[in-house]
Amino acid sequence: MNVPKGIALLLWPLSAVYGAAAKVRAWLYARGWLKQKRLKGTVISVGNITVGGTGKTPMVIWLAEKFLAEGKRVAILSRGYKSAGGRSDEIELMKHRLCGKALFGVGKNRYAAARPLEEQGIEIFLLDDGFQHLPLARDFDIVLIDRLQPLSEEKVLPAGRLREPLSALNRADAVVYTRTDGAKTTVGLIQQLKRFPIFPASTQVQGFRLFGADEKLQSVAEISEGPFFAFCGIGNPEAFFLDLKRWGAKIAGQRAFRDHHRYTPAEMLAIEEAAQRAGASALVTTEKDFNNLAGIGGTRMPLYICVITLAVPDEKQFLGAIAAKLGQREGVVA
C-alpha cells in the first residue's frame, strides 16, 4: 500500500486521529479500564504493525510444528478473513500443512471461538494476526516486520501502512524481521539491537508441486526450465516475485491481485493468455492462492504451486525467549 505523497499529506489529519485512537485503546487495555478475557491455555500472538503481508502464516505454521513436536496440544485462533463456514485460504493452507494435528477456532471473537477448544485440553493457543486483538489476553506477543519495507518514515493509516504508531512495538515480547534471506550483514545488525528481543527470519522454498497432480515436491530445476509467469493474490505480492527470482526461477511476467482473491475460469484464461504473450512455458503461484483456485477446473499450461517454509537462524534463542517469558508468568500466577 503506497499512498502518493500529495494524498498522504491530505490524509495526515485522519492519520493523526486514527493513531491517537489506537494509542488510547491500547492504554485503556493496559490500565484495565477495558477488560481482557483469558483462556486456560497459553496464548501466543503472531501479528504485525502494518497492513500487508509480513509472513504471519508461515510463522504460525512454524511455531505449531515446534510445539506439536514437543507433544503439546495446539489450536490456532484466526479471524478467518473472507471465510465461509470456517474456511478461508489461510486456514485451509495451515490445515493442509499441519496434517490435521492442530485444532482451529475461527471467528471475529477469538475468545468465543477458543472456548469450545479449552474442553479438549489445548495447551497452546496460537493467535493468528493478533497484535491488535487486545480483547484476548496473551502470554507472549510476537510482531513481524518485513525487512524490505522499512518503517522509519512510515505513517499511520490511512496516509500510510501502519495499523498503530511505532510506539506500539513496546508491547511486543519479541520482534522478528522477516525476509532477511540469511544476509550476514543484515542478520548481524538485527542481532545487535537490544531494545527488546529481535530475531531474523527468512523464507525458503521447500519445493513446487504440479496443480492437479499428487503432493510430490520438486525443485526449480526439476519442474521446468521456464520461463514462468507468476501470479498471486497475497498481502505482499512483490516479495513472492522477488523470492522466485532469488530461488532461481526465470520469470517472464507477473500479475498481482488483491489479497485473498478468488479466481474465476475467465481470469485463469486471461492469465494464461498473458503468460503466452510473455513467452512463458508454465505458471507458478502460492499455496495460499491454490486454495482460491477451486472451481476453475484444469489449466492449459502447467501450473506449479510454490511451497515455502520459514527459517529462523537463532531458533534456539528464539524458542528460549518464549519459554523464559512463559516461565516468568507461570511463576507470577503460582
pLDDT at 23 over 50: yes
Write the single-letter amino acid at 119.
Answer: E
* 187 and 40 co-located in one domain: yes
Mean pLDDT of 149-171: 88
**Range of lowest pLDDT (145-154, 212-221, 270-279, 283-292):** 145-154
Average pLDDT, the chain: 89
pLDDT tens per residue across span 39-97: 999 999 999 999 988 899 999 999 999 999 999 999 999 998 655 555 689 999 999 99
DSSP E strands: which ranges in the chain?
42-48, 74-78, 103-106, 124-128, 140-146, 174-178, 198-200, 202-210, 228-232, 251-256, 282-286, 303-311
Cα–Cα separations (whole angstroms), residue 308 to 61, 76, 287, 312: 11, 19, 8, 13
pLDDT at 183 over 60: no
Cα–Cα–Cα angle for 151, 94, 303, nearest 5°? 90
Cα–Cα–Cα angle for 193, 239, 145, nearest 5°? 25
Q: In whole angstroms, what is the distance from residue 239 CA to residue 242 CA?
A: 5
pLDDT at 253: 97
pLDDT at 294: 81
* 255 and 219 co-located in one domain: yes
* 11 and 143 co-located in one domain: yes
* 160 and 219 co-located in one domain: no
DSSP E strands: which ranges in 28-73?
42-48
pLDDT at 310: 93
- For the four alpha carbons of 241, 259, 292 and 263, in that order, the dihedral sign comes to negative
- Report percent pLDDT > 90 for the chain: 71
Mean pLDDT of 298-315: 93
Q: In whole angstroms, what is the distance from residue 260 CA to residue 45 CA?
A: 22
pLDDT at 28 over 50: yes
pLDDT at 63: 98
* 14 and 146 co-located in one domain: yes
pLDDT at 195: 63
pLDDT at 170 over 60: yes
* 133 and 211 co-located in one domain: no
CATH of the domain at 189: 3.40.50.300
**Exposure of 245 in the CB half-sphere (CA atoms within 13 A):** 9
**144-166: b (≥16 Cβ within 10 Å) or e:** bbbbebeeeeebbbbbbbbbbbe
- Report percent pLDDT > 70 for the chain: 90
pLDDT at 13: 85
Contact criterion met (CB below 8 Å) for 117 and 105: yes
* 227 and 104 co-located in one domain: no
**Range of lowest pLDDT (88-92, 196-200, 304-308):** 196-200
pLDDT at 295: 77
pLDDT at 26 over 60: yes
Edge-to-edge strand order for the sheet containing 251-256? 202-210, 303-311, 282-286, 228-232, 251-256
pLDDT tens per residue across span 1-16: 567 676 777 788 899 9
Q: In whole angstroms, what is the distance from residue 294 CA to residue 29 CA?
A: 41
pLDDT tens per residue across span 129-144: 999 999 999 999 999 9
* 24 and 121 co-located in one domain: yes
pLDDT tens per residue across span 101-135: 999 999 999 999 999 999 999 999 999 999 999 99
Mean pLDDT of 276-280: 97
pLDDT at 103: 97
* 158 and 228 co-located in one domain: no
The parent domain of residue 24 ranges over: 5-201+312-333
* 298 and 329 co-located in one domain: no
pLDDT at 301: 95
* 168 and 266 co-located in one domain: no
Cell 511505532: give the residue: 166
Domain count for the chain, please give it. 2
* 302 and 317 co-located in one domain: no
pLDDT tens per residue across span 233-256: 998 999 999 999 999 999 999 999
pLDDT at 5: 73
